[in-house]
Amino acid sequence: MSSRVMGFVRASHAAPTAVVTLVVVLLAAGLGWRGWSLAGVFVAVAVGQFSVGWSNDAFDAPLDKRSHRLDKPTVALGISPRALWVAAVIALVVACALSWLVAGVIGGSWHVFALAMAWLYNTVLSRTWWSWLPYAMAFGSIPAFLSYGLDGQPPLLWLTAVCAIVGVSAHVANALPDMDLDRQADVKGFVMTMGRTRATWLCWILLVAGSVILAVETFAASAWIPIGLGVALTSAALFARLSRSRTATFQAILALVVVQVVVLLLAIAAE
C-alpha cells in the first residue's frame, strides 16, 4: 500500500470510524433493518465517518505540525490539508445523498444533522468548553435516523438518552490520555477546562447514569443483564482505582462504554 493511500487511511481515524459504523449497523439490525437497506446504512455511515476523520486532520494540520505530531499523516506522511479537505467534502456530499436515499427525507436528515454536528466539532468547538455538545447531539441523533428511516416512527426516548450519554462519555474518555499534549499545545477544550480529576468524575457519573437507564429498561427482559452491567461497572471502577497504569482510568472507561453498547444492543433486541 502506497504511503499516500496509507495516509488517507490513517487520516480517516480508521479505528473510531470502524467502531462507530459497526455500532450503528448493529443498532439498525436490532431495530429491524435488513438486506440492501441495512447495507445502505453501512455505506452511508462509513462514508460519513470518512468525511469526519479527514476534515478533523485537515483542520488540525497546522497545530499538529507545530506540535510535531508524528502520529498524524499530515506530518509524518506529507498528506496535504488541501487534499484532505477535498476528500472530506466529497465524502460528506456522498454520505448526505446516501442518507436521504436510504432513510428518506426525515430519517436521512437526522444523519445529515449528526454529520453537521461532527463537522461543527472539528472546525469550531473542539477547542472550546462546548466540545461535548456536538457529541451529545450527533450520537443522540442516531436513533432518530434509524427509527424514522425504517418505518417513520419516532425513536425511543431512553435509547436517545443513552446514545447521547455514551457519546459524551466516549468524548471525555478519549480526551483524557491527550491532556498533556493538549496542555503543551495550549488547547482549551472542555476536558482541559475541567481538569483531569473533575473530567474523570464526570465520565464516571455519565456512565453510571447510562447504566441505570439500561438496567431499568432491560430488567423486564432479563434480570441477568442489569446484574452483569452492575458487575462490569464495579469491575471497571476497581481496575481504575487499583491499577498503577497511567492509562488505567481511560482503559476502564472505554471498556465500560463497550459493555454499555453491547447491553444497548441486547435491550433493543428484547423490545
Q: Residue-wise pLDDT tens for the chain (271 aa)?
A: 566 777 777 877 888 898 899 889 988 998 899 999 999 999 999 999 999 998 988 887 777 666 556 566 665 556 788 888 999 999 999 999 999 999 999 999 999 999 999 999 999 998 889 999 999 999 999 999 999 999 999 999 999 999 999 899 888 887 877 777 667 666 677 888 888 889 888 988 998 898 899 888 888 777 788 888 888 888 888 888 888 776 777 778 778 877 877 777 777 766 6
Q: Are 270 and 255 in the same domain?
A: yes
* Domain co-membership, 107 together with 162: no
The CA-CA-CA angle for residues 53, 268, 169, to 5°, reads 40
Its domain, for residue 10, covers 1-155
Query: Per the structure, how many domains does the chain have?
Result: 2
- pTM of the predicted model as reported, rounded to 2 decimal places: 0.88
Instruction: State whether 39 and 140 are in the same domain.
Output: yes
Of 133, 155, 177, the last residue of a domain is 155
Nearest to 4 by CA among 65, 71, 80: 80
Q: Are residues 10 and 116 in the same domain?
A: yes
Q: Are residues 247 and 260 both part of a single domain?
A: yes
For residues 148 and 26, membership in a common domain is answered with yes
Q: Are 121 and 240 in the same domain?
A: no
**CATH number for position 264:** 1.20.120
